[in-house]
Structure 1
């Protein structure tokens, strides 16, 4: 697998536009399945091997930014926790700012919150009330789209803040969990479908 090509070949695996074949291959080679984490029956998609391989990480970040370039986002919102690792370099590539959407109690100042169901429990997300400017178009970024609960809560927080959700960008989409259906008609870009 070559990770230094400057012009990847399109493959058409993303709903938001074609994802490079190279990025799909790199992503497949650098994701580790961890069975029964965080609870029995769940197969956790571990991106640590991707994060510790700079050339592979660069290919995937470039591909993620390329798939969402047409969304017209003015800011990227990073969904805790692994979304932080992806959103900042994507925002940098797009030339826009980044806003953290965090777990409850992690942000200073005034916040708004949403509680939602996960495939293995419940959680609450928060964003600062002054995180967005009037007229912002927000691109949500996370690592995985599973049942859609986390992404839906993040999208609702953005809308509650009075700005528009431009779309959602993820590394991989777990198709068998149908998270995309919960988010319709939100534009979703993914590099890889599992």
Structure 2
């Protein structure tokens, strides 16, 4: 069922942040930073995969995501919903179900056997595709997925995520230069504000995380981290 009523943008950001905190998807560790897929270390980690195990949170966030995209792009803007391997696949399925559209997914690289396909499911030439993922940091993985979609003869001008780091300068500009508009529900700034409001995390930790987000490379360099 396509959602048609939703809160204002600020309320969506706050409620989304609250839900991520409530299900334990938000992790801070300023003493022993996390190592991310990029190899870089950070005192922050967001586990969006936990969303799939919480039905009420999952349903609400997916309603928010559909409404956010449709408000910005239009109700008839897409022909296909694509998820990026692997984290984006369940979210693409939830969004496709709500929007009443076909769903496909994009591999990180072509399968090395059979049809050697990179796109699974049916994506037709000329389809207008919405790429759905769990989160974005600097947008790099989005560009690779979008290139694969376009190589298949479809178009992709929009990507939607639950969580956007919002701390790496030039991310949205980099995506825009690739012809891609980013839609998201909440950011680290929203999560920190909600954690401070709700008393979920001590003030000293939040202050240190804010220092990191203001200058990630400087924060790492001062601690001799990668």
TM-score (norm 2): 0.65
Deviation at 1:55, TM superposition (A): 0.7
Deviation at 1:135, TM superposition (A): 2.1
Deviations 1:84-117 (A, max 9, x none): 1211010010111111112335474133xxxxxx
TM-score (norm 1): 0.75
Which has the larger share of strand?
A: 1
- Unmatched 5+ stretches in structure 1: 1-5, 14-18, 112-125
Alignment of 1:134-149 (within 5 A): 134-149=125-140
Alignment of 1:34-53 (within 5 A): 35-38=33-36, 39=39, 41-42=41-42, 43-53=44-54
- Unmatched 5+ stretches in structure 2: 189-226
Task: Tell me the equivalent position of 2:63.
Answer: 62
Structure 1: how far apart are the matches of 2:132 and 2:98? 13
Contact 2:164 2:186 (C-alpha < 8 Å) held by counterparts: yes
Structure 1: how far apart are the matches of 2:40 and 2:5? 41
Contact 2:20 2:26 (C-alpha < 8 Å) held by counterparts: no
In the alignment, structure 1 residue 86 sits paired with structure 2 residue 91: yes
Structure 1: how far apart are the matches of 2:55 and 2:18? 15
| Mean CA deviation greater in 31-40 or 158-167 | 31-40
In the alignment, structure 1 residue 127 sits paired with structure 2 residue 128: no
Deviations 1:9-54 (A, max 9, x none): 21258xxxxx465334323433222641345614431124422221
Larger radius of gyration: 2
Q: Aligned pair in 2 of structure 1 residues 181, 51: CA closer, same or farther (>3 Å)? A: same
Structure 2: how far apart are the matches of 1:48 and 1:162? 30
Instruction: Quote the RMSD (CA, aligned, Å).
Output: 2.6
